[in-house]
Amino acid sequence: MGFVWLLLLALARLAFADTDLPQIIERTKPSIVAIGTYQATRSPQFVMRGTGFVVGDGRHVATNAHVLAELTDIAAGQMLVILAQTPARVTQQRAARVSVIDQAHDLALLRIDGSPLPALELHSSGPVREGQAVAFTGFPIGGVLGLSPVTHRGIISSITPIALPGANAGQLNAKLVRQIRDGSFDIYQLDATAYPGNSGGPLYEMSRGEVIGIINMVFVKDRKESTLSKPSGISFAIPVHFLRELLRQVAN
């Protein structure tokens, strides 16, 4: 009898999470932005680089550092921008600039012009656990599928240590070298498949929609024979406490 009650309780919790998810997605989408460059004389004028989400005071956008890796020297006539959708599905463009970058954890904060946008709440209570139900929202495969936020869900399949080296030798600094030398940090491995355009998007728990991580890297399938050398469908997220540290830096 005890087993039956536990099974019923588990099913009830799953049904509750599924019921809440549409409301959580509705609250989350206004905070999801596309990050890229804009040039009036180019076709297309906007070229997307990745996903971001609004945090803090509503004037900061979190994303991956590698999303901005090739934007450090923007060509003349181009500018770094974000595209956001209002609840009425009107797309607005905002100029942005890099506020702070954490290469060791592949995170970055942008400062955006204009009035504040709705910010997502960062998770701060309770541990993140393997098997926990999660969802993430972003722009898979960039603008190919259109600039409308898409949501995927899954579980945290593993919390595992990893080290993230810089994209090139020019990005190495004392802090990054120390991070690689001293060891790694925990990262969330997911069973849900993300795509390159999802990089920088929020990973959130499904009870309140609080952000617990930032989608970071994806191994995209090359061919079936390369499963071991190039695994597919394995997505990762950087724990949100590293992002919270960046927010403290810009607040000081």
Are 187 and 161 in contact by the 8 Å Cβ rule? The answer is yes
pLDDT at 16: 45
- Tens-place pLDDT, residues 69-90: 766 556 667 899 999 987 778 8
Give the pLDDT band of residue 246 (cuts 50, 70, 90). Answer: very high
Contacts of 67 (CB under 8 A, 6+ apart): 35, 49, 50, 51, 52, 108, 199, 200
Omega before residue 22 within 30° of 0, cis: no
pTM, to two decimals: 0.81
pLDDT at 184: 77
* C-alpha to C-alpha distance for 202 and 184, rounded to whole angstroms: 22
pLDDT at 149: 92
Pick the closest to residue 211 from 20, 32, 22 (CA basis): 32
Residue range 217-228: mean pLDDT, rounded: 49
Judged against a pLDDT cut of 70, whether residue 44 lies above it is answered with: yes
Contacts of 176 (CB under 8 A, 6+ apart): 103, 104, 165, 166
Same domain, 72 and 175: no
pLDDT at 18: 54
Same domain, 84 and 142: no
Same domain, 92 and 152: no
Residue range 12-18: mean pLDDT, rounded: 48
Q: The domain that contains 172 carries what CATH number?
A: 2.40.10.10
- Tens-place pLDDT, residues 124-166: 878 999 999 999 999 988 766 678 899 999 999 999 887 655 4
Mean of the per-residue pLDDT values for the chain? 82
Same domain, 104 and 171: no
Same domain, 147 and 66: no
Number of domains in the chain: 2
| DSSP β-bridge partners for residue 69 | none
Give the pLDDT band of residue 95 (cuts 50, 70, 90). Answer: very high
> What amino acid occupies position 2?
G
Judged against a pLDDT cut of 50, whether residue 9 lies above it is answered with: no
Structure tokens given for 114: 């204009």
Residue 18 belongs to a domain: no
> What amino acid occupies position 30?
P
* C-alpha to C-alpha distance for 72 and 145, rounded to whole angstroms: 27
Are 190 and 237 in contact by the 8 Å Cβ rule? The answer is yes
100 is in which domain, residue-wise?
Answer: 29-112
Q: Concatenate the DSSP letters of all residues of 53-102 into one string.
A: EEETTTTEEEE-GGGGTT-TTPPTT-EEEEEEE-TT--EEEEEEEEEEEE
Same domain, 138 and 239: yes
Same domain, 99 and 194: no
* C-alpha to C-alpha distance for 57 and 86, rounded to whole angstroms: 17
Residue 157 belongs to a domain: yes
